[in-house]
Structure 1
Amino acid sequence: MFGAGTTAVVTGGSSGIGAATAERLAGRGCDVLAVGRDTDALADIARRTGARCCAADLTSPGAADRVLAEAGEVDLLVCNAGVGWSGPLEVMPEERVGDLVRVNLLAPMLLVRAALPGMLARGRGQIVLVSSIAGSMSVAGEAVYSATKAGLDALGASVRGEVAGRGVGVTIVVPGVVDTPFFARRGSPYARRVPRPVPPERVAAALVAAAERNRSQVFVPRWLRLPARLRGVAPTVTDALQRRTT
């Protein structure tokens, strides 16, 4: 159970799922280090929850090591930070392609790589990777975002196999659409009819519960597991259904 005596690092901790997760863990008595770029929002999280804050650009060289050194012995690592972009791939600026890959995929890779030696040496620890239904369904107009989230799924599954039986668990959280500033920040509102947005607090609750039980994967809402599994066996059907909900 995550509570007093547990140290948790939450990236993307200044808003949305990250802020809700930091607040939930701090409310249980965890020593939480909320990591993000927005110093004002981080300060507000600290005032409301008592969490420690770390302003950091996770794409900068050495950032993963610096964050974990500030945290101390990490029991729970939540890799939640992410950015998006919407539009056809052929018009996506090259620098934005790089931004998404660095923030959504490379930064979690480096954080997990940096956290594992300490967790394995202590024989305990939980890693949570916040993916997206876009990684399972490969959403048109979000090619790079979908690819980074699919890569995050593969990262989690591979690391889970590497640490099996060594006291460290890996959980992949797959939210659908979440009511956060994500869409405003990417510059394009959410326009699909299905799925409908869910509050970030719902995702945070599912995330903490799944991590405590060392579940390999959890979908929020849970019904999204069905179309994700269907795509694996009938991609033509799921592609047609996605076009109808646009």
Structure 2
Amino acid sequence: MTTVLRGRKVLVTGGSSGIGAATTLALARRGCEVVVTGRDERALRAVAARTGARPLAADLGSPEGLARLVEEAGPPDVLINNAGLGWSGETETMPGTEVRRLLAVNLAAPVELTRMLLPAMRSRGGGHIVFVSSIATVGVGTEAVYSATKAGLRAFAAALRDELAGKHVAVTTVFPGAVRTPFFRRRGQEYTRSFPRMLPPEEVAERMLRAVERGEQECFLPRWLGLACRANGLLPGTFHRLSRWFGPTA
């Protein structure tokens, strides 16, 4: 199902920097009414000043933060679930608080936002829901919990897409590789590989919105990463042996 974005109301999570901020700018250029949310109030206000978006600071890791966001944002035509956290290291050394935080923000929050906003979206005649997953759905060593949250997001999106077939609500899942954002610094390990190259967030944002406009179900960035995912499904052992030559990916 294709979606016309111009003039639509769009809620973007994780919009204070990186992909979310770039997406907010791209939406503003399309004439959208954008509500942008994030935890960093100062950065969020800066994004809003550049784009004309309405900023709403919220902690998506808490039920109270989610409920307040839904109440204050109002029902959108398009929901872009972009907010996400990373953590890099051996699983046995990962603090339990970090495990719970990643599960809450990366997986529970987009599921809950979708559940809470979907009825109003359907009552208004339809809409579009976007999930920003990751190529890490293939399973990346030293990023086990992060990989699990992104794989869970893909499964939820696929099931939801089937559930909403014929109900005028489209679902698009986006799978970026390495993107030039503060994500790697924040997760505790910088991206040091020369291949795959890091993508600018503006390129990811524009490609994601084109996928929405065209009604694409899944969007891999860069495109060839889709082949890597299929190879993982067909020959998982071989895929993971080869992936160790390159180290952590995203």
Report the TM-score range of the alignment, normalised by the length of the smaller protein.
Answer: over 0.9
1:2 equivalent in alignment to 2:2: no
Greater relative contact order structure (CA < 8 Å, 6+ sep) = 2
What is the CA–CA distance in structure 1 between the aligned matches of 2:159 and 2:125, rounded to whole Å? 19
Counterpart of 1:222 in 2: which secondary structure? coil
What is the CA–CA distance in structure 1 between the aligned matches of 2:186 and 2:178, rounded to whole Å? 14
Could you say which residue in structure 1 is the equivalent of 2:163?
Answer: 162
What is the CA–CA distance in structure 1 between the aligned matches of 2:74 and 2:142, rounded to whole Å? 40
Q: Which letter does structure 1 place at the counterpart of 2:229?
A: A
The worse-fitting range, judged by mean Cα deviation, of 119-128 and 13-22 is: 119-128
Structure 1 moving runs of 4+ over 4 Å: none
Structure 1 position 121, deviation (Å): 1.5
1:129 equivalent in alignment to 2:123: no
Q: After superposition, where does 1:29-178 map in structure 2 within 5 Å? A: 29-135=31-137, 137-178=138-179
Could you say which residue in structure 2 is the equivalent of 1:198?
Answer: 199
Counterpart of 2:61 in 1: which secondary structure? coil
Q: Which letter does structure 2 place at the counterpart of 1:87?
A: G
Could you say which residue in structure 1 is the equivalent of 2:244?
Answer: 243
Could you say which residue in structure 2 is the equivalent of 1:215?
Answer: 216
Structure 1 position 245, deviation (Å): 1.3
Q: Which letter does structure 1 place at the counterpart of 2:73?
A: A
Q: Matched residues, percent identical?
A: 52
The worse-fitting range, judged by mean Cα deviation, of 236-245 and 124-133 is: 236-245
Contact 2:180 2:199 in 1 (8 A): yes
Counterpart of 1:78 in 2: which secondary structure? strand
What is the CA–CA distance in structure 1 between the aligned matches of 2:55 and 2:198, rounded to whole Å? 28
What is the CA–CA distance in structure 1 between the aligned matches of 2:192 and 2:147, rounded to whole Å? 17
What is the CA–CA distance in structure 2 between the aligned matches of 1:162 and 1:62, rounded to whole Å? 27
Q: Which letter does structure 1 place at the counterpart of 2:114?
A: V
Counterpart of 2:244 in 1: which secondary structure? helix
What is the CA–CA distance in structure 2 between the aligned matches of 1:193 and 1:238, rounded to whole Å? 19
What is the CA–CA distance in structure 2 between the aligned matches of 1:110 and 1:63, rounded to whole Å? 11
What is the CA–CA distance in structure 2 between the aligned matches of 1:192 and 1:114, rounded to whole Å? 40
Q: CA RMSD in A?
A: 1.0
Give the structure-1-normalised TM-score: 0.96
Give the structure-2-normalised TM-score: 0.95
The worse-fitting range, judged by mean Cα deviation, of 38-47 and 67-76 is: 67-76
Gaps of 5+ in 2: none
Contact 1:7 1:71 in 2 (8 A): no
Q: Deviations over 1:7-32 (max 9, x none)?
A: 00000000000000011001111110
Contact 1:21 1:204 in 2 (8 A): yes
Q: Which letter does structure 2 place at the counterpart of 1:19?
A: A
Gaps of 5+ in 1: none
Q: Which letter does structure 2 place at the counterpart of 1:122?
A: R
